[in-house]
Structure formats: C-alpha cells, structure tokens
Amino acid sequence: MTRTLRAPVIAGNWKMHKSPDEAREFLAAFLEAHPEGDRAILFFPPAISVEAAVHAAAERGDVRVGVQNIHWEDEGAFTGEVSAGMAHDTGAQVVLVGHSERRHVFGETDEETGRKVAAALRHGLDVMLCVGETIEQRRAERVDEVILAQLDAGLAEVGTDVLDRISIAYEPVWAIGTGETATPEDASAAHGTLRRRLGQKYGGDAGSSVPLLYGGSVKPENARELLSAPDVDGVLVGGASLDPDSFARIAAAVRRGG
Ligand code: PGA
C-alpha cells in the first residue's frame, strides 16, 4: 500500500529547547520563511512555551501546536506533570506519546503509553504515537516485533471511530540525535509493517488513512529523499527543527516526482 500522494505532515519536536520568548521569535521567523501551503506543520514546544507558540501561529491555518507529553490522570498529586485537559486548555491540539526519550530516559512503559493515548483522546487532543527499536533490537532482527508491540500497546484502547485523530511516528532510537538516518528503504519497510498491522486491526481503508511519519536525524539535505519513500507521509524533526531556516527548508522539501 503506497500513499505518496498525500500532503506531508512536517513536525518539529523542540524537546527541552525554547522559552516562550524564543518560541515567539522562532515562529515569527519561520512563518515568514514558510508561506502557508498544503503541508500540515506541527510544533511540539516545551509545555511552558505552548501558549506563546499557539498565539504566535494563530493566524496560520496550516500550523498546529502540541505538547511533548501528558500524564494519564486528569488531576492529582503528580508533581511536575501536566494533564491532557490542561494541555488542551492552553491551545495544544496534539500530544506526542511514547517518544523514545520518554521511554528510555524516563522509563515510560508500553502500558503507560496506552493510558496516555486514551487520556488524550478523552480530552480532545489528537495523538502522535512514537515507536522505534534500539540498535541492539535491530541487530537481533527484532524490529517488527518491537514496533508492533509498541503500536498495539499504544492503541490498545483506540477504536476505529477515533482513528482519524491518530498519527504514528517511526523513530529508530539509534537514529535520534545521532546524525545517523535510516535509509528510505528501512523507513519504508518499518512503515509497511505498521501499515499492515493497522489494516489488520482496523480494516484496510482505515489503516491506510493513518499518517506515518519518519523521525531520526531528518535534515534539509535528506528530507526530500525520505519524504519520497513509499508509505512515508511526513517527518518528525528534532535538532533541525530548532532553526527557522532549516525547518522551513524541510517543510518546503518537494517529493521526488511530486
Ligand atoms: P533528531 O530527533 O531529529 O534530532 O534526531 C528526532 C526526534 O527525537 O523526534
């Protein structure tokens, strides 16, 4: 199943970078460098900068802002955490769930990702679920097993009726922030595996409508090739999303033949 004709989703994950002032400054520069077009542009600033980013991008129908993480409970004694409802209240429209740094630095489990996805949907946030294998898992030829387990757990409580609020980011852990990028063939293979499972779970048509993004050292120099790969519907960009010009170049990358 190949979906190269769909308009790409270009997402920037700022991680723990950019204060509210810096978010405003970035967006002023980026919005000028990237005129409104057919691409869906998404930013994930730190929670404290979400409101500033929402205001800075308010005039642009092609730009949405999300949060990088939520807690699954609605409220309570969880110092340092933010709930889905609170994130939604700041103007966030999407949440990243299961980013590899959440999984590997903060010990988030597959089961917790499922609870976070359910909480997000309950409170009006769309979800970008991240999955990806470590280098050891890749060497042991366990890529499909790992990413399918992450997919199944993350979507455990997601029915067909809300599937249009879900996107999946395949981010091999060994490619994140390392300068190493999966080849377009590797990305397509993993995306094909995810697409087939979505088809099995939700029916062929439903499965094929979920956007699948690739992430891991995406840069202006490799964005076009990755976006041209079969089953790659967009990119999730970390380091190269921090500079407005570099992110604008990625957002403008034209697909081969498109
Ligand atoms: P990177 O990060 O582009 O810096 O590799 C990607 C991500 O973590 O989403």
pLDDT tens-digit readout, 204-221: 787 789 999 999 999 999
CA angle, 16 as apex, 10 and 22 as ends, to 5°?
Answer: 75
Residue 100 dihedral angles phi and psi, to the nearest 5°? -60, -30
Q: Which atom of ligand 1 is nearest to the CA of 100?
A: 8
Specify which residues 170 forms β-bridges with: 131, 214
What is the pTM (predicted TM-score) of this model? 0.95
Better-predicted residue by pLDDT, 4 or 183: 183
How far from 12 is each of 53, 83, 161, 175, 238, CA to CA, in Å? Answer: 12, 21, 27, 16, 6
Active site residues: 99, 171
Where does ligand 1 bind, in terms of residues with CB under 6 Å?
A: 13, 171, 176-177, 215-218, 236-240
pLDDT tens-digit readout, 177-189: 888 889 999 999 9
